[in-house]
Structure 1
């Protein structure tokens, strides 16, 4: 009994001392973040100067090297760790022009990994996909594409997003528009299905049949916003054109105006290139083999500059690391900052890190990941770990109320099965958590679009996130207890009716981009 009382007294003395230190550290974190923020500088250098960070491009490697140099400025050891190889490619100048029946430059861009047209470009007429009865009819129609640009996207009946119609239209007009759009989308999906291909596989069939290029418009349901992904072709160029210009071209084809366009897309093939995660380390002083990881994916699609996907997550983690190194330079546990490569193609960088570093995964105290836009963090889930409330709750207590009051928690929650890099750790039973952000119209306007640029960043929210991350990291590092990995019993999946199971780890693609 005396030993038990003595142990309790020692614990109370430790907690009291820890609490006092916590207050000082939290205050110092806030002061540094608010009075000496580097977020705007990071954003300018990363988004404006380096630009998009598509895996396999020189810009991605430039970003890796930039981050290493930044960490070293702050006295943080960092390196680029090769995890695989990818198809090397670099975007060049793109011009898309209507040359007949009138001349006008169109708004659009080459898709990722699209073959080059060369400096002279390609000039040809356009053709749209017809109504197809079945795959046999499609095969019979295919010779019609020879020598033409093929338009492979649905013609949108309106370029106004639904919220705009709902605000200004009459109720009858709004319902009429929705009915028409829903009917057209259903018919388009069925027609695509009738070809025997999908929107992802049809481009190669058209290429094989002799098309000279692919023209698409993958509208993102927002003014001026289109999703920009990969070309899906081996020899012919593929471009995305704005809804407005695509609609004009589509109507010209349908009305028999015989439109002709010229595409110049000067991309470069660079062979196979190495790909990297950038890993920075602040060594632990007492428990160096236990880890707290600050996590964000570094790569992006290249329709714009990847500002909110995931430039903001990247600069939040880097700013948190900079602040911690300044006000908490000798952490109890080792702090790692992981900026992952090729998240957009399937969490490849983080999956490779988990696969290659079992000792770090075994010693993981917690990982904090931020990836869904510029907004302040508003949700943290326990990711299915039964006792996550015990430690996440303790750490959140130290966060100032003006930040924590925005945050809802969900314990024990359900384990992530994808979506972002924390899922790579969760799949192997390691405690990793998403710092999930307020939307700021992320899905329609900046997620994988041509509008994901610096001007969409809300720096007040990003600053809050850097403060939150730094405090949570400090608390996780100093916590006298190791976090529990006990899993909760998962309930019935409402979609399948089957009992939930923990996600299985998936191997990374280490030699990608060839298709």
Structure 2
């Protein structure tokens, strides 16, 4: 016979979700923005090591690499660690809606919404946005990029992946992938991408489980991912043009001066 006494406390004094945002200022194109991000919230059973402390750490390391090399990006590089992803991309959707654009109507900024008759309220910063890169599929190496149906980025990304062929990053797929924060950008016509990663134990052991702990992190894989993330972000910040966009997923467009 086993008796257990459990004492639990609900911390409900502050029910607001938070994003954590930082910048590396740009130079001649500093009013244009390149973003990289990952969510830092997690399920309660483990400590969220692979979902998604791993992605958060890679984003921070990518920014550190750019800073440590003394690079001066043309565009401003903005790092975002999102809250509320596990409840439905709440942090990234709110951020995109507040700063860039939001869908008007019952679906709001619902990721993946493709209502051709939806209105999209465009803010001035929408035009200044160059691209977003997300990491949220565990601790595994980067193997390529999901292009989210944006065929125009293929030759650009192919050239950027070329130096990392020996690291195993070679794949570009036109496919969409879902379930994470790049969808908040894609839903309003902004170029947002998730990297393809080795699954390692993500789907079979760690994802949303009590085994999502530090011991499951693969340090060498995360170093590889950090280098590739830094390269893609820096290349986006330095090219003459912003990344190509797909057609705006909704009409008509309502301009907003806010």
Q: Tell me which interval the TM-score lies in, with the shorter structure as reference length.
A: 0.7 to 0.9
Aligned to 2:15, what secondary structure does the other structure show?
strand
Residue in structure 2 matched with residue 268 of structure 1 by the alignment: 10
Q: 2 CA distance for matches of 1:437 and 1:377?
A: 4
Pairing of 1:172-187 with structure 2 (within 5 A): none
SS in 2 for 1:275: coil
Residues 208-227 of structure 1 mapped to structure 2, 5 A cutoff:
none
Q: How does 1:56-205 map to 2 (within 5 A)?
A: 102-103=1-2
2:16 counterpart SS class: strand
Aligned residue for 1:331?
Answer: 73
Aligned: 1:407 with 2:170: yes
Cα drift, residue 304 of structure 1: 1.1
Higher relative contact order at CA 8 Å, sep ≥6: structure 1 or structure 2? 2
Q: Is 1:458 aligned with 2:223?
A: no
Shift of 1:420: 0.3
Would the aligned equivalents of 1:290 and 1:365 in 2 still touch at CA under 8 Å?
A: yes
- State the 1:292 CA deviation: 1.2
1:379 to partner: Cα distance: 3.3
| Structure 1 residue corresponding to 2:51, chosen from 288, 298, 309 | 309
Separation in structure 1 between the aligned mates of residue 85 and residue 70 of structure 2, nearest angstrom? 30
Pairing 1:395-434 to 2, within 5 Å after superposition: 395-397=160-162, 399-403=163-167, 405-411=168-174, 413-414=175-176, 416=177, 418-434=178-194
Q: 1:271-309, CA deviations, whole angstroms, 9 ceiling, x for partnerless residues? A: 343321110111110111221111100111121110000
1:362–1:430 Cα contact (<8 Å) kept = no
Map of 1:479 onto structure 2: 239
Quote the Cα distance in structure 2 between the aligned partners of 1:330 and 1:275.
32
Question: 2:194 aligned with 1:437, yes or no?
Answer: no
Q: State the secondary structure of the residue aligned to 1:470.
A: helix
Gaps of 5+ in 1: 1-101, 104-260, 489-501, 505-515
Evaluate the alpha carbon distance shift between residue 461 and residue 470 of structure 1 in structure 2; reply closer, same or farther with a 3 A threshold.
same
Residue segments in structure 2 that go unaligned for 5+ positions in a row: 101-123, 252-258
Report which of the two structures shows the higher radius of gyration computed on alpha carbons. 1
Q: Secondary structure at the match of 2:44?
A: coil
Quote the offset at 1:326 in angstroms.
1.7
Paired position in structure 1 for 2:142? 377
Question: Is the CA contact 2:191–2:246 (under 8 Å) kept in the aligned structure 1?
Answer: no
Deviation at 1:263, TM superposition (A): 5.0
Match of 2:40 among 284, 289, 298: 298
Q: CA deviation at 1:269?
A: 3.8
For 2:156 and 2:225, how far apart are their aligned partners in 1?
19
After superposition, the CA RMSD in angstroms is 2.1
**1:468 shift after superposition:** 0.4
What is the number of equivalent residue pairs in this alignment? Answer: 228
Contact 1:324 1:470 in 2 (8 A): yes
Cα deviation, 1:297-336, whole Å, max 9, x if unaligned, reads: 0111121110000010000000000111121442111100
Checking the alignment, whether the CA contact within 8 Å between 1:374 and 1:440 is kept in structure 2 is yes
Q: Distance in 2 between matches of 1:283 and 1:269?
A: 36
